[in-house]
């Protein structure tokens, strides 16, 4: 009996010493038993590879999915549902994709604030009739809906420009798509569609609902018709393929009315011309060296063909065509103010300067481009210059 008791005492002593040594070594402390996390503890970062059982490797995407599933289990938040759906889609796995679509579909039909976000993702992930369904649904919810610009583009592509009615709708939709983002990578393909539409329906001799017609009567002149309809003589010439000023009674003249304004994006070296909010023309530009072209809103107060150049520093003016005159074929001058003087838009004989900062502050286009822009600019036209 004494031997048994003695053995028990020795055994307890050995166990007590072992546990004291084991728990004091931070390298082998059980992480689960010491899992208290403060509010400042950072979220776990997915490693390059996670070997959970000696053979199975978990990718970054799978690690994120597992983390989001755990988070969603403890906090069923719609934002986490969106993130989980996006993570599932990113894995490229068919089953994961099905789960993501299911999550998004449930959220899209709910009254959640993120229903619109789910709808936009579903539109991007769908094809054919489903994509069209979501695009039309997004359009019906208003301009502030997620995915609105993409929806405008998709519906416009669906409508086409085959006839007058479809061209009218597509012009508006493509313009709204264009204005939904100022990213050049987004705008470039839309610009190509708009150019096709504009060249075929607007800036041509074809009848078009968005354009008006005037019938010339005895005593009419281009000047009179332009003044009555608040358009420029050059726009009448351009739309009706008229050289000179001769018109005849009974002749029908096409013209385009509306509020014209220009937007210059310095970072993209680009100018867009809009009429009543719809895109009309766009060309690459150059502007001031060392970013000296000021940003702001400017009013056009002078329009000149074959302009003379008056240097700001008092040097002798240079006539059109003289060497050293930088203004090219057209001058569209801005109203002077306390902060700027002598600024405007003009042509250039140096096309290599387009797309760079080389001018003394003015915005320059290639000569052929400024000639195309000129007919649509009038006195008082606003020019928005943005960084």
The CATH number linked to 274 is 2.40.440.10
- 372 and 292, same structural domain? yes
Residue 39 lies in a domain: no
Q: What is the CATH number of the domain that holds 244?
A: 3.10.350.10
- 119 and 98, same structural domain? yes
* Residues listed for the chain: 387
Residue 57 lies in a domain: no
- 231 and 312, same structural domain? no
C-alpha span between 152 and 290 (Å, rounded): 38
Sign of CA dihedral 296, 300, 305, 310: negative
Intervals of the chain under pLDDT 50: 1-7, 9-10, 12, 14-46
Relative to beta strand 382-386, strand 260-265 is parallel
Give the model's pLDDT for residue 53. 53
Give the model's pLDDT for residue 4. 43
Residue 31 lies in a domain: no
Residue of 372, 88, 56 lying closest to 238 (CA atoms): 372
In 165-236, beta strands by DSSP E: 212-215
Give the model's pLDDT for residue 281. 97
Name the active-site residue from 12, 129, 287, 362: 362
Residue 6 lies in a domain: no
pLDDT in tens, 323-365: 888 899 999 999 998 888 889 999 998 889 999 998 888 999 9
* Residue 205, helix vs strand vs coil: coil
Domains of the chain: total: 4
Supply the DSSP symbol for 206. Answer: S
Does the reported pTM lie above 0.85? no
- 270 and 361, same structural domain? yes
- 247 and 165, same structural domain? no
Residue 160 lies in a domain: yes
Q: How many CA atoms lie within 13 A of 177 on its CB side?
A: 27
340 tagged catalytic: no
- 169 and 123, same structural domain? no
pLDDT in tens, 70-111: 998 998 899 999 999 999 999 889 999 999 999 999 999 998
- 190 and 100, same structural domain? no
Owning domain of residue 196: 148-202
Give the model's pLDDT for residue 311. 80
Q: Give the tokens for residue 62.
A: 């799978």
Residue 27 lies in a domain: no
Residue 7 lies in a domain: no
- 155 and 136, same structural domain? no
Last residue within a domain, chosen from 181, 202, 223: 202
Give the model's pLDDT for residue 25. 40
* Residue 57, helix vs strand vs coil: strand
- 308 and 324, same structural domain? yes
Residue 322 lies in a domain: yes
In the chain, beta strands by DSSP E: 50-51, 57-58, 212-215, 252-255, 260-265, 270-275, 278-284, 287-288, 296-305, 330-334, 344-348, 357-359, 363-366, 382-386
- 251 and 264, same structural domain? no
Relative to beta strand 344-348, strand 363-366 is parallel
Name the active-site residue from 205, 287, 340, 346: 346
136 tagged catalytic: no
Q: How many beta carbons lie within 10 A of that of residue 369, not counting itself?
A: 23
Give the model's pLDDT for residue 94. 93
φ/ψ bin of 321: left (φ > 0), alpha (ψ from -120 to 50), beta (otherwise): left
- 370 and 286, same structural domain? yes
- 308 and 368, same structural domain? yes
């Amino acid at each position: 009996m004494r031997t048994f008791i003695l053995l028990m005492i020795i055994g307890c002593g050995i166990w007590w010493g072992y546990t004291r040594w084991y728990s004091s070594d931070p390298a082998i402390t059980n992480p689960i038993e010491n899992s208290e996390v403060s509010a400042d503890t950072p979220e776990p970062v997915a490693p390059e590879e996670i070997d959970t059982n000696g053979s199975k490797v978990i990718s970054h995407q799978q690690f994120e999915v597992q983390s989001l599933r755990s988070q969603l289990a403890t906090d069923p938040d719609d934002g986490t549902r969106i993130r989980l759906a996006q993570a599932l889609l990113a894995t490229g796995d068919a089953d994961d994709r099905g789960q993501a679509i299911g999550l998004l579909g449930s959220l899209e039909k709910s009254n959640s604030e993120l229903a619109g976000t789910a709808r936009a993702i579903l539109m991007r992930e769908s094809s054919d009739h489903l994509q069209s369904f979501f695009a039309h649904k997004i359009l019906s919810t208003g301009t502030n809906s997620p995915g609105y610009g993409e929806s405008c583009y998709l519906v416009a592509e669906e409508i086409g420009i085959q006839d007058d009615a479809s061209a009218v709708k597509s012009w508006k939709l493509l313009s709204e798509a264009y204005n939904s983002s100022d990213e050049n990578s987004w705008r470039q393909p839309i610009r190509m569609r708009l150019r096709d539409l504009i060249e075929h329906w607007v800036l041509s001799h074809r009848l078009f609902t968005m354009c008006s017609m005037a019938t010339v009567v005895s005593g009419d002149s281009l000047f009179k018709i332009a003044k009555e309809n608040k358009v420029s003589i050059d726009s009448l010439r351009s739309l009706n393929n008229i050289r000179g000023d001769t018109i005849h009674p009974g002749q029908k003249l096409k013209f385009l009315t509306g509020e014209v304004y220009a937007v210059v994006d310095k970072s993209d070296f680009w100018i867009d011309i809009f009429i009543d909010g719809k895109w009309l023309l766009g060309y690459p530009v150059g502007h001031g060296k060392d970013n000296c072209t000021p940003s702001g809103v400017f009013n056009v107060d002078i329009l000149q063909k074959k302009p003379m150049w008056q240097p700001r520093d008092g040097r002798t003016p240079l006539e059109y065509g003289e060497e050293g005159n930088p203004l090219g074929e057209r001058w569209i001058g801005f109203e002077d103010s306390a902060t700027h003087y002598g600024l405007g838009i003009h042509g250039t004989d140096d096309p290599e300067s387009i797309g760079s900062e080389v001018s003394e502050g003015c915005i320059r286009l290639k000569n052929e481009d400024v000639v195309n822009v000129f007919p649509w600019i009038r006195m008082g036209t606003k020019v928005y210059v943005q960084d």
